[in-house]
Structure 1
Amino acid sequence: MELEAIPGVGAKTAESLAELDDPERALRDGDVAELASAPGVTPGRAARIARAAIRAKHDDPGGFLGTDRAREIHRELLSLLQARAVTDYAARRLETFYPSARRSRIEEARAVTASAMEREPTDAVLDALHDVEPVAEPGDVRVRERCLATTDAERYSAARQAFPELSVEIVEDARGLAELARGYATVIALDERFGGIDVEGDVRVRPDALDEPVEIVPERPLAFFSRNRDCLRAAVAVHRESDLDAPCDLDALTSGLDRLDADGAVAGDDELDRLEDALDDLDDVVVAAEDLANAQLKDAIVEQDVTIEGSDLLSLVERGAGADSLLSRELADEYDAAVDAARTHLIEGLALDDAEAEVAARAFPDEATFPVAHEADVVARLREDLQAAMDRRAGERKRDLANTLAGMRADAETLVRQALEIDVELAIARFAADYDCALPVFVDDDAGDPATVGGTEGEAPDGVDAGSAPDIEIVGGRSPVLDEPPDRIDPVDYEIDGVRLLSGVNSGGKTSTLDLVAAVVALAHMGLPVPADSVRLRRFDGLHYHAKTQGTLDAGAFESTVRDFADLATGADGGLVLVDELESITEPGASAKIIAGILEALAERDATAVFVSHLADEIRETAGYDVPVDGIEATGLVNGELQVDRSPVPDHLARSTPELIVEKLATEAGSEGVSDDGTAGSGNPRESADGGSDPADFYDRLLAKFG
C-alpha cells in the first residue's frame, strides 16, 4: 500500500508511518494503537488515518453523512458505543466504524459485529481489560557493567551500531583487555585472536557476538517485557476469562513475567538476592562485627588482672612497644576469641559462601590491636568480589530469561492486540444488549447486485422479494438518541417506501421517529447492530437529515436553504432524505408550496424521503401527485397528558393537538348539559341560563372546522 496514496497522508506523515515495523498491517487492520506509536501521530490522528485507509481500501468516496444533523446523530451513536469501551484504544478504534454506502465495507464491519454479538461481556473480562493498553517500546537501555572490545575499526563501527546499549572499546592486545576487565564486570572480545588468553576477570571471546544479540544484551528483550509487564498480565487474564485463542503458552509467559522486576532485573533468584543483600549490608555488618570484637575484648581487659614487673615494663619501653604487645603477650587468647567472633558475625551476617568467607576472614587482622579495626582494602576486595559475583549471576539469569522470553515478543504483542480488539467487540455487544439490538437485513434491487449485505448472492433473506420490499421497515425500534433509559423508550414500528409526509400531534414523537430512522440507517451502514426487533432496508448512498429550523429565516438564509434542497432534489439517486418541519423557514402558505415542489422532484426520481409537517393538507392540495401521509396518532388526553401511539399509522393524517383539545371540551360540555335521566338539564341544551348560547355549540362549531 502506497502510504501517500491514503487521503490525508502527506510526505511527512508517510515518513513517520514508515518507521513502524509493519505499517501496511496496521493500516489494513485499523490498528489505531500501532499507528499512534509512529512519531508525531496522535491517537486522534491515527483514527483518522485508519478511517482514510479503510475508505481507500474499499474505494469509498465518503460523504455519506450529508448534513449537520446527520453528522450529529452519528457522533451521538459513536459516543454511546465509546462509553461502553473499557480501554482508550477501543474508544479510538470504534471511530473507524463509519457509515458507508460500499457493500464491501459494510460486510467487513458486519463480520466484526456478528462476532461481537456472540460474546458475553462478563465482569471478569471487563475488570481485566482495565489494565490492558497498547504495548509500549521501552526507553533507551544502557548497560554499564559490560563492554565490547575489538582491535578492528570496521568491527568497532559494526558493534556500535548493533549494540547501542553497550560501550565498545578498541584495544591493541591482551593487556588492553586486562585493563578493561578491571573497569567492567564483563568484557566481550570480538576477535578470534584473543581465544585462549588468560586474563584476570570475566573476559569472554565471542566472535559471533553480532549474530547473538540476546546473549550479548539480554537487557534488550527484557526491557520490553518489564515495560509492558502489567499490561501483558492483564492481557493474559483477558484471554483466560474469555474464549480467545491465545497465540502463546500463557503459563510460560506468566512464569517469565513473574521472574522479572519492573526495572528489568531478574526476580525470584535466591542466590542473586543473597549477593544483593550482602552488598547492601556489607558496611553495616563490618561495623557491627568490629563493635562486637571491641566490646568482647574490652570486657576481657576489664576482667583480666594483669601484673607487669618493672623489668618487663622497661623492656617494653626500650623496644618501643605499646599496648598491642602487652595484649599479644597477656591477652592473646582473648583477642583471638574476639576476632573470631567478628569474623563469624561478618560471614554469617552476610551469608557468605566458602570462597567469600576466606576473603572476609582477612578483614580482621591476626595481630593483636586495640581497638580492633577492619582492613579497609580487604573489605574493598570483598565488595568487588560480591559485585562481580552478582553481575555474573545476574547476567546468567538475564540471558536465561531473555532466551525464554525473546521468542515470545511477537506473540505477546498479538496477545495484547487481541485483548484490545475484544474490548471493541464487547463495546458493540454491550450496546447491542442495552438496546436489545438486531443485525439489520439489507434488501437491494440494484441490477446485478446481490440482494443482501451478508446474505446469499442474488437472494433476499427470509423470502423477501427485493423488488417489492419497502425501502425501510423497522419493527420495535428504540431510538438510542433519546435522553431516556433504554427500558423506558416506547418501541416504534415504521415502514417507509418512497417519498412520504409524517403528521402528528405536537410532542407526539415525530422528531424522535426521524431520529430513530436516522440512527437505524447510520448504524446499519456502519455495519453495526440496530436498536430494533428487526430492520430491513435498502442500501443508501447517503443520509440527509435536515433538523427543524429555529425561527423564520431571513432572505439570504432562506435562499441558501432552497439551494440546498435544489441540489438534493436534482442530485444523484440513492440517498435517504429526512426533513423536520421545513415550513418553519418562512410563511406557512409559501412553505407548503415549496415543500410540495421538493416532494414532487424527489418522487420523480424514486427517492426515499420523510418530511415531518403540520401542513399535510395544504401540501397535498398543492402537490401534483397523491402524496402519502403517515400519522402518529394521539389516543386522547388524560389528566392533561397526551396519550400517543408512537408508531406512525400508514396512509393516515393524524389529528392535531388543538383538535383533540377542542374535541375534549365539546364532549365535556355536552355531558354537562344532560341530566342524570338523559333529559336536557335546562330544557334547551343550546341555550345558557342567562339566554346566551351554550358553550357546547361553540365547541361543536370549532370541531367541525377540523373536518
Structure 2
Amino acid sequence: MEFEAIPGVGQKTAAALAELDDPETALETGDVLTIAAAPGVTDGRAAAIARGAIQRRHDDPGGFLATDRSKSLYDDALSLLQERAVTTYATKRLETLYPSPRQSRINEVRELVDRALSHEPDTAVLDALGGVEPLESPSGLRVRDRCLATADAEQYAKAKSKMPELSAEVVDDARDIDELARSYATVFVLDESFAGIDIDGDVRILPDALDKPETVVPERLLSVFATNRDRIMAAAEVHRLAGLEPPCDLDALEDGLSRVDDDGTIVGDDELRRLEVAVDDLDAAVGTAESVANDYLRDAIKERNVTIEGQDFLSLVEQGARVDSLLARELDEDFETAVKKSRTHLTESLSLAPEEAELADRIFDGDPTFPINRREDAVGRLKNELTAARDRRATSLKTELAADLADLRGPVDQLVRNALELDVELAIARFGRDFDCVMPAFDDPETGFEIRAGRSPLLDVEFEDVDPVDYGVEGVTLLSGVNSGGKTSLLDLVGLIVILAHMGLPVPAESVRLQRFTELHYYAKSQGTLDAGAFESTLKEFGDLISGADGRLVLVDELESITEPGASAKIIAGILEALDTQGATAVFVSHLADEIREASAVDVAVDGIQATGLVDGKLQVNRSPVKNHLARSTPELIVEKLAGEATDATFYESLLEKF
C-alpha cells in the first residue's frame, strides 16, 4: 500500500506507519489503536488516518460535512455512539465511521450494522468487556542465564536485533565458547562450524536459533501471556457469555495461563517449587541445623562424667581449650549423633533429593569439635547445585509451556480482537435500541427526504418524552413557524438523520427515505446583524455553495438576521432560485416566508410548524410541519387570544386584520 496516497498522510507519517508490524491490515480494518502505536501518531491522528484510508479505498472525495454546524452535528452523533462503548478501542474505532456519498462505503457499514443489530446487549457481557483491552507488548525483558554466540559479525548484528532479551557475544574459537559456558547456564552457538566441539556445560549448536524464539527465549512469549492475562481472560469470558465462537480451545488457553504468574514465573510445578524454596531457605536451614547439632552436643556434654566435672569441661571447651583428643575419646558417639541430627533436619526441612542430601552431608563433615561449625565451601556447592537445578527446571518448564502456547499466540490476538469488535457492534446495537432506530432506505431516483415519526436524541428532555415528527421535502422549501415551535430542532433532526444515514447507521425514526446527498451544508442562526465585511463574506460563501449544488442538502436557520429584513428577503429569494435551478434540496427556516415568496421568481414551497393555541401562556404546537401552509406567528396567537377574552375586542380584532 502506498501510504502517502492516503489523504492527509505525508512522508513523515508514512515512514512511521511503515514501522508497524502489519500496517496494511490496520489501515484496512480501521484499527485505530494499532495505527496510534506508530511513532508520533496520536489517537486523534490515527482515526483521521484510518478514515483517510477508507476514503481512498472507496474513491470518496470527502467533504460531506461542508459547514461548521454540519461537523458539530456529526460530533453529536458520534458522541451518542461512543457513550455506549465500553472499551477505549471501540471508542476510537467508532471514529472511523463518517458520512460518505459513496454507496459502497455506506453498504460496507450497513453490513456491520446488520451484525450489530442481531446482538441483544447483555449486562454481563458489557461488564466482561470492561476488562478487555488490546494486547500490550512487554518491554525491558532481560534473560541473563543464557547467551548467543557467533563468529560472524553480520550474524551478531542480527542476533542483537532479533533477540534483544539475550546477550550476544562474538567468539573466535572453542576456547571463547568454553569461557562463556562458565558464565552462562546455556550458550546457543549460531555457527555450524563449531559443531562437534567438546566443552563442559550446556553448549548448544543451533544455527536456526534466531528463528526459534520460543525455544531459545521462551520468556518472550510467556511474558506476553503473563502481561495480558487479565485481558485474555476477560476476552474469553466475553466469548462464553455472548455465545461467540472462539478461535481456540478456551479451556486449554486458561490451563496455559494458570501455569504462568504475572511476572512470567512458572507456577503449579511441585518440583520447581521445592527447588525454589530450597534455594531461598538454604542459609536459614543450615543455621537451624547447626543449632540442632550444638544444642544436642551441649546437653550431652553436661551429662557426661569425665575426669573433670562436665560443667568445667564445657567451660574449657567454650574457652577454646585444646581438647580435641578428649572430645574424640569421650564424645565420639555423641558427636556423630549430633551431626546426624543436623543432616536429617537439613534434608527434611529442604526436602532434598538423595543426590542433594549427599552434598548436604558434607556441610557438617569433619573431626569432632564444639561448637560444631558449618563448612562454607560445602554450603556454597549445595547452593550452586540447587540453583542450577532450579534454573534448569524453570527453563525446561518455560520451554515446554511456550511450545504449548506458541500455537495459541495468533488465536489469542483474534480472541481479543473479536471481543473488542463486539463492543463496537454492541455500541451500535445499544444506540439503535435506545433511540428506536430503523435502517433508512436510499431512493436515488427520487430527490429530497421523507421522515416518518422522527425523534431527536439531541433535545434536553428524556427521549421517550420527545414528540415524533413527520417531515419530507423535495426541492427548495421555506419553513415557517412560531418562536420556540421547534424549527431549529427540526433542522437538527433532519441534519442528524441525513448524517447517520450516510454513515451507514440506523436513524431515530419509524421510517426514512432519502436520496444520497453529495454534501450537507447546514448554516446555524446568525447572532445579530453582520457588519459589512462579514456580510460580504457570507454572501461569497453562498455564492460558492450555489456553484455545483446538484445533490447537496442545504439547511439554513434564519438567514434574514444577517442584515435588514427587506434586503434579507430579496437575498434569500435569490439563493433559493439558484438552488432550485441547480436541483438541490434545501430547507430555509424564516420568519419572512411571505416576503421571500413574493420576491422569488420561482414557486417556493412554504411549510409551517403550526401552533394550535396558548394554554397558561405556553404555546401548544404541532411539531410536524403542515405542507404548503404559512404558520401563524406568536404575536398573532397572542392578539387572537386577547380578542377572545376582551369585553370590547374592537381593538384586538383590528390588529388581527393586519396579519
2:129·2:234 contact (CA, 8 Å) conserved in 1?
Answer: yes
Match runs of 1:109-188 below 5 Å: 109-150=109-150, 156=156, 159-171=159-171, 176-188=176-188
Q: Report the CA distance between 1:629 and its aligned residue.
A: 1.2
Structure 1 segments (4+ residues) deviating >6 Å: none
Q: Report the CA distance between 1:217 and its aligned residue.
A: 1.7
Match runs of 1:259-408 below 5 Å: 259-308=259-308, 322-408=322-408
2:525·2:556 contact (CA, 8 Å) conserved in 1?
Answer: yes
Which amino acid is 2:635 matched to?
P
Q: Partner residue of 2:565?
A: 588
Q: Report the CA distance between 1:175 and its aligned residue.
A: 5.3
Q: Partner residue of 1:32?
A: 32
1:275·1:390 contact (CA, 8 Å) conserved in 2?
Answer: yes
Match runs of 1:530-549 below 5 Å: 530-549=507-526
Q: Partner residue of 2:592?
A: 615
Q: Partner residue of 1:519?
A: 496
Q: Partner residue of 1:655?
A: 632
Match runs of 1:433-444 below 5 Å: 433-444=433-444
CA distance in 2, matches of 1:628, 1:157: 77
TM-score of the superposed pair, with normalisation by structure 2: 0.94
Q: Partner residue of 2:657?
A: 704
Query: Residues 207 and 483 from structure 1, CA distance in 2 versus in 1: closer, same or farther, beyond 3 angstroms?
Result: same
Query: Residues 79 and 393 from structure 1, CA distance in 2 versus in 1: closer, same or farther, beyond 3 angstroms?
Result: same
Q: Partner residue of 1:603?
A: 580
CA distance in 1, matches of 2:38, 2:105: 26
Q: Partner residue of 1:687?
A: none
Query: Residues 154 and 111 from structure 1, CA distance in 2 versus in 1: closer, same or farther, beyond 3 angstroms?
Result: closer
Of 41-50 and 147-156, the range deviating more from structure 2: 147-156
CA distance in 2, matches of 1:547, 1:154: 65
CA distance in 1, matches of 2:332, 2:143: 50
CA distance in 2, matches of 1:286, 1:194: 43
Q: Report the CA distance between 1:472 and its aligned residue.
A: 0.7
Which amino acid is 1:395 matched to?
T
Match runs of 1:671-686 below 5 Å: 673=647
CA distance in 2, matches of 1:207, 1:298: 62
The Cα offsets for residues 656-700 of structure 1, whole Å up to 9 and x where unpaired, read as 11111121222122xxx4xxxxxxxxxxxxxxxxxxxx3x22222
CA distance in 2, matches of 1:154, 1:60: 47
CA distance in 1, matches of 2:162, 2:536: 69
CA distance in 1, matches of 2:162, 2:528: 71
CA distance in 2, matches of 1:172, 1:552: 86
1:548·1:579 contact (CA, 8 Å) conserved in 2?
Answer: yes
Query: Residues 35 and 193 from structure 1, CA distance in 2 versus in 1: closer, same or farther, beyond 3 angstroms?
Result: closer
Q: Report the CA distance between 1:74 and its aligned residue.
A: 0.7
Which amino acid is 1:697 matched to?
T
1:77·1:480 contact (CA, 8 Å) conserved in 2?
Answer: no
Query: Residues 297 and 187 from structure 1, CA distance in 2 versus in 1: closer, same or farther, beyond 3 angstroms?
Result: same
Query: Residues 347 and 193 from structure 1, CA distance in 2 versus in 1: closer, same or farther, beyond 3 angstroms?
Result: farther
Structure 2 gap segments, 5+ residues each:
none
CA distance in 1, matches of 2:307, 2:47: 95
Which amino acid is 2:456 matched to?
S
Query: Residues 561 and 371 from structure 1, CA distance in 2 versus in 1: closer, same or farther, beyond 3 angstroms?
Result: same
| SS state at 2:237 partner | helix
| SS state at 2:363 partner | coil
The Cα offsets for residues 557-593 of structure 1, whole Å up to 9 and x where unpaired, read as 1111122122223333110010111111111111111
Query: Residues 548 and 346 from structure 1, CA distance in 2 versus in 1: closer, same or farther, beyond 3 angstroms?
Result: same
| SS state at 1:483 partner | coil
Q: Partner residue of 1:209?
A: 209
Of 515-524 and 148-157, the range deviating more from structure 2: 148-157
Q: Partner residue of 1:68?
A: 68
Of 217-226 and 392-401, the range deviating more from structure 2: 217-226
The Cα offsets for residues 83-126 of structure 1, whole Å up to 9 and x where unpaired, read as 11111111111111111111111111111112111112211221
CA distance in 1, matches of 2:531, 2:208: 82
The Cα offsets for residues 338-391 of structure 1, whole Å up to 9 and x where unpaired, read as 222221221111121111111112111242221221111111111111111111
1:336·1:366 contact (CA, 8 Å) conserved in 2?
Answer: no
Which amino acid is 1:301 matched to?
I
Query: Residues 257 and 641 from structure 1, CA distance in 2 versus in 1: closer, same or farther, beyond 3 angstroms?
Result: same
2:549·2:579 contact (CA, 8 Å) conserved in 1?
Answer: no
CA distance in 2, matches of 1:558, 1:395: 78
Q: Partner residue of 2:248?
A: 248
Of 76-85 and 287-296, the range deviating more from structure 2: 287-296
Q: Partner residue of 1:480?
A: 457
Q: Report the CA distance between 1:523 and its aligned residue.
A: 0.6
Which amino acid is 1:600 matched to?
E
Q: Report the CA distance between 1:196 and its aligned residue.
A: 6.2
Query: Residues 285 and 125 from structure 1, CA distance in 2 versus in 1: closer, same or farther, beyond 3 angstroms?
Result: same
Query: Residues 163 and 593 from structure 1, CA distance in 2 versus in 1: closer, same or farther, beyond 3 angstroms?
Result: closer
Q: Report the CA distance between 1:5 and its aligned residue.
A: 1.0
Of 357-366 and 380-389, the range deviating more from structure 2: 357-366
Q: Report the CA distance between 1:230 and its aligned residue.
A: 1.9
| SS state at 1:630 partner | strand
1:79 to 2:79 alignment: yes
Structure 1 gap segments, 5+ residues each:
446-465, 674-693
1:181·1:202 contact (CA, 8 Å) conserved in 2?
Answer: yes
Q: Partner residue of 1:682?
A: none
Q: Report the CA distance between 1:438 and its aligned residue.
A: 0.8
The Cα offsets for residues 402-425 of structure 1, whole Å up to 9 and x where unpaired, read as 111122222221222222111111
Q: Partner residue of 2:609?
A: 632
Which amino acid is 1:112 matched to?
L
| SS state at 2:364 partner | coil
Query: Residues 638 and 169 from structure 1, CA distance in 2 versus in 1: closer, same or farther, beyond 3 angstroms?
Result: same
Which amino acid is 1:603 matched to?
D
Of 179-188 and 20-29, the range deviating more from structure 2: 179-188
Q: Partner residue of 1:21?
A: 21
| SS state at 2:619 partner | strand
Which amino acid is 2:569 matched to?
A
Query: Residues 202 and 238 from structure 1, CA distance in 2 versus in 1: closer, same or farther, beyond 3 angstroms?
Result: same
Candidates 578, 596, 619, aligned match of 2:555: 578
1:480·1:519 contact (CA, 8 Å) conserved in 2?
Answer: no
Query: Residues 305 and 386 from structure 1, CA distance in 2 versus in 1: closer, same or farther, beyond 3 angstroms?
Result: same
**Structure (1 or 2) with the larger CA radius of gyration:** 1
2:65·2:520 contact (CA, 8 Å) conserved in 1?
Answer: yes
CA distance in 2, matches of 1:137, 1:246: 22
The Cα offsets for residues 620-677 of structure 1, whole Å up to 9 and x where unpaired, read as 22222332111111122222221111111111111111111121222122xxx4xxxx
Query: Residues 151 and 59 from structure 1, CA distance in 2 versus in 1: closer, same or farther, beyond 3 angstroms?
Result: closer
The Cα offsets for residues 576-626 of structure 1, whole Å up to 9 and x where unpaired, read as 010111111111111111111211221222211111111112222222233
1:36·1:45 contact (CA, 8 Å) conserved in 2?
Answer: yes
Query: Residues 24 and 174 from structure 1, CA distance in 2 versus in 1: closer, same or farther, beyond 3 angstroms?
Result: closer
| SS state at 1:121 partner | coil
Which amino acid is 1:703 matched to?
L
Which amino acid is 1:502 matched to?
L
Which amino acid is 1:407 matched to?
D
Q: Report the CA distance between 1:162 and its aligned residue.
A: 4.5
Q: Report the CA distance between 1:197 and its aligned residue.
A: 6.0
Q: Report the CA distance between 1:152 and its aligned residue.
A: 6.0
How many equivalent residue pairs? 652
**Between the two proteins, what is the percent identity of the paired residues?**
64
| SS state at 1:515 partner | helix
Query: Residues 248 and 444 from structure 1, CA distance in 2 versus in 1: closer, same or farther, beyond 3 angstroms?
Result: same
1:97·1:526 contact (CA, 8 Å) conserved in 2?
Answer: yes
